[in-house]
Amino acid sequence: MTGRIAGIARHAFSKGPMETIDHVRVTLEGGIAGDFRGAMKGKPYKRQVSLMEAGDWDAAMAEIGHSIPWEQRRANLLVEGLDLPQIVGARLHIGADVVLEVRDETNPCERMEALAEGLRAALTPDWRGGVLTMVIRPGEIAVGDPIRIEQ
Protein backbone atom coordinates (compact mmCIF):
# COMPACT_ATOMS: atom_id res chain seq x y z
CA MET A 1 0.00 0.00 0.00
CA THR A 2 1.24 3.48 -0.86
CA GLY A 3 0.20 6.81 0.59
CA ARG A 4 1.49 10.30 -0.08
CA ILE A 5 3.14 13.15 1.76
CA ALA A 6 0.39 15.75 2.19
CA GLY A 7 2.43 18.30 4.14
CA ILE A 8 5.91 19.16 5.42
CA ALA A 9 6.59 21.40 8.42
CA ARG A 10 9.56 22.40 10.56
CA HIS A 11 10.53 24.76 13.36
CA ALA A 12 13.92 26.41 13.71
CA PHE A 13 14.07 26.52 17.52
CA SER A 14 12.42 25.06 20.61
CA LYS A 15 8.80 26.19 20.86
CA GLY A 16 9.31 28.22 17.67
CA PRO A 17 6.55 28.75 15.10
CA MET A 18 5.97 25.98 12.58
CA GLU A 19 6.80 26.72 8.96
CA THR A 20 5.11 24.73 6.19
CA ILE A 21 7.19 24.05 3.10
CA ASP A 22 6.74 22.22 -0.22
CA HIS A 23 10.05 20.34 -0.35
CA VAL A 24 13.09 19.74 1.82
CA ARG A 25 16.36 17.87 2.17
CA VAL A 26 16.44 15.09 4.76
CA THR A 27 19.87 14.29 6.23
CA LEU A 28 21.39 11.66 8.49
CA GLU A 29 22.79 14.35 10.77
CA GLY A 30 19.86 16.73 11.01
CA GLY A 31 16.64 15.08 9.85
CA ILE A 32 14.44 17.67 8.13
CA ALA A 33 16.78 20.50 7.06
CA GLY A 34 16.16 23.55 9.24
CA ASP A 35 14.21 21.66 11.90
CA PHE A 36 15.27 22.04 15.53
CA ARG A 37 14.35 18.49 16.58
CA GLY A 38 16.23 16.65 13.85
CA ALA A 39 19.65 17.83 14.93
CA MET A 40 19.20 17.24 18.65
CA LYS A 41 21.56 14.77 20.23
CA GLY A 42 21.18 12.50 23.22
CA LYS A 43 21.00 8.84 24.03
CA PRO A 44 18.80 7.21 23.16
CA TYR A 45 17.58 9.76 20.64
CA LYS A 46 14.64 8.67 18.53
CA ARG A 47 13.03 11.85 17.25
CA GLN A 48 14.65 13.10 14.04
CA VAL A 49 11.49 13.16 11.92
CA SER A 50 7.92 12.91 13.20
CA LEU A 51 5.00 11.78 11.05
CA MET A 52 1.26 11.75 11.58
CA GLU A 53 -1.71 10.51 9.60
CA ALA A 54 -4.09 13.12 8.19
CA GLY A 55 -7.02 10.88 9.10
CA ASP A 56 -5.91 10.72 12.73
CA TRP A 57 -5.65 14.52 12.93
CA ASP A 58 -9.10 14.85 11.33
CA ALA A 59 -10.54 12.34 13.82
CA ALA A 60 -9.03 14.24 16.76
CA MET A 61 -10.44 17.52 15.40
CA ALA A 62 -13.89 15.98 15.03
CA GLU A 63 -13.69 14.56 18.55
CA ILE A 64 -12.94 17.95 20.13
CA GLY A 65 -15.03 20.04 17.72
CA HIS A 66 -12.21 22.23 16.41
CA SER A 67 -10.48 22.92 13.11
CA ILE A 68 -6.82 23.58 13.90
CA PRO A 69 -4.21 23.46 11.10
CA TRP A 70 -2.28 20.16 11.13
CA GLU A 71 1.13 21.80 11.57
CA GLN A 72 0.07 22.96 15.03
CA ARG A 73 0.50 19.32 16.03
CA ARG A 74 4.21 20.07 15.49
CA ALA A 75 4.77 16.99 13.33
CA ASN A 76 7.20 17.19 10.40
CA LEU A 77 5.27 15.14 7.86
CA LEU A 78 1.55 14.73 7.25
CA VAL A 79 0.69 11.44 5.56
CA GLU A 80 -2.47 10.59 3.58
CA GLY A 81 -3.63 7.18 2.44
CA LEU A 82 -1.31 5.04 4.57
CA ASP A 83 -1.65 3.61 8.06
CA LEU A 84 1.68 4.33 9.69
CA PRO A 85 3.20 1.21 11.25
CA GLN A 86 2.98 0.93 15.02
CA ILE A 87 6.06 -1.28 15.17
CA VAL A 88 9.50 -0.12 16.30
CA GLY A 89 11.96 -0.94 13.52
CA ALA A 90 9.45 -0.65 10.67
CA ARG A 91 10.87 1.32 7.74
CA LEU A 92 9.16 3.95 5.61
CA HIS A 93 10.33 4.74 2.08
CA ILE A 94 9.54 8.28 0.85
CA GLY A 95 10.02 9.53 -2.69
CA ALA A 96 13.02 8.23 -4.60
CA ASP A 97 15.55 7.90 -1.79
CA VAL A 98 14.55 8.67 1.79
CA VAL A 99 14.16 5.84 4.30
CA LEU A 100 13.01 6.45 7.88
CA GLU A 101 12.90 3.91 10.70
CA VAL A 102 10.12 4.01 13.32
CA ARG A 103 11.61 4.36 16.80
CA ASP A 104 8.63 5.24 18.97
CA GLU A 105 5.12 6.58 19.28
CA THR A 106 4.71 10.37 19.49
CA ASN A 107 3.22 11.07 22.89
CA PRO A 108 1.08 14.22 22.82
CA CYS A 109 2.36 16.87 25.22
CA GLU A 110 0.74 19.63 27.26
CA ARG A 111 1.11 21.99 24.27
CA MET A 112 -1.77 20.14 22.61
CA GLU A 113 -4.01 20.89 25.57
CA ALA A 114 -3.02 24.57 25.30
CA LEU A 115 -4.27 24.53 21.68
CA ALA A 116 -7.65 23.08 22.59
CA GLU A 117 -9.12 21.42 25.64
CA GLY A 118 -9.27 17.66 25.14
CA LEU A 119 -6.79 17.57 22.23
CA ARG A 120 -4.08 15.76 24.17
CA ALA A 121 -6.52 13.00 25.11
CA ALA A 122 -7.93 12.87 21.57
CA LEU A 123 -4.41 12.22 20.20
CA THR A 124 -3.49 9.54 22.75
CA PRO A 125 -5.27 6.32 21.65
CA ASP A 126 -3.86 3.97 19.01
CA TRP A 127 -0.73 6.02 18.19
CA ARG A 128 -2.99 8.81 16.91
CA GLY A 129 -0.29 11.35 17.84
CA GLY A 130 1.99 9.85 15.18
CA VAL A 131 5.38 8.15 15.01
CA LEU A 132 8.95 9.22 15.70
CA THR A 133 11.62 8.12 13.25
CA MET A 134 15.33 8.27 12.57
CA VAL A 135 16.80 8.84 9.11
CA ILE A 136 18.33 5.68 7.61
CA ARG A 137 18.85 7.01 4.08
CA PRO A 138 18.89 10.74 3.21
CA GLY A 139 17.52 12.55 0.19
CA GLU A 140 15.01 15.11 -1.02
CA ILE A 141 11.27 14.90 -0.36
CA ALA A 142 8.34 16.99 -1.52
CA VAL A 143 4.63 17.31 -0.90
CA GLY A 144 2.95 14.73 -3.12
CA ASP A 145 5.76 12.17 -2.89
CA PRO A 146 4.71 8.57 -2.36
CA ILE A 147 5.30 6.94 1.01
CA ARG A 148 5.20 3.21 1.64
CA ILE A 149 6.16 0.69 4.27
CA GLU A 150 9.31 -1.17 3.24
CA GLN A 151 8.97 -4.94 3.23
Tens-digit pLDDT profile for residues 25-48: 999 999 999 998 887 666 667 789
Its domain, for residue 111, covers 2-149
Looking at residue 107, what is its pLDDT?
84
Check if the beta carbon of residue 91 is closer than 8 Å to that of residue 102. Answer: yes
Q: Residue 99 contacts by C-beta under 8 Å, 6 or more apart in sequence?
A: 91, 92, 93, 135, 136, 137, 150
Residue 146's pLDDT band (cuts 50, 70, 90): very high
pTM: 0.93
Alpha-carbon separation of residue 14 from 18, 49, 66 (angstroms): 10, 15, 25
Check if the beta carbon of residue 65 is closer than 8 Å to that of residue 57. Answer: no
Task: Mark out the alpha helices in the chain (DSSP H runs).
Answer: 54-64, 110-115, 119-122
Residue 79's pLDDT band (cuts 50, 70, 90): very high
Looking at residue 112, what is its pLDDT?
83
State the pairing for strand pair 77-80/49-53: parallel
Higher pLDDT, 121 or 77: 77
pLDDT digits (tens, 9 = 90+) for 92-145: 999 999 999 999 998 887 778 778 888 888 889 889 999 999 999 999 999 999
**Averaged pLDDT, 55-64:** 94
What CA–CA distance (Å, rounded) separates 146 from 151? 15
Count of the separate structural domains present in the chain: 1
Residue 138 belongs to domain with CATH number: 2.40.33.20
Check if the beta carbon of residue 120 is closer than 8 Å to that of residue 81. Answer: no
What CA–CA distance (Å, rounded) separates 41 from 15? 17
Which burial class, exposed, middle or buried, applies to 35 when counting CB atoms under 10 A from its CB (0-12, 13-18, 19+)?
buried
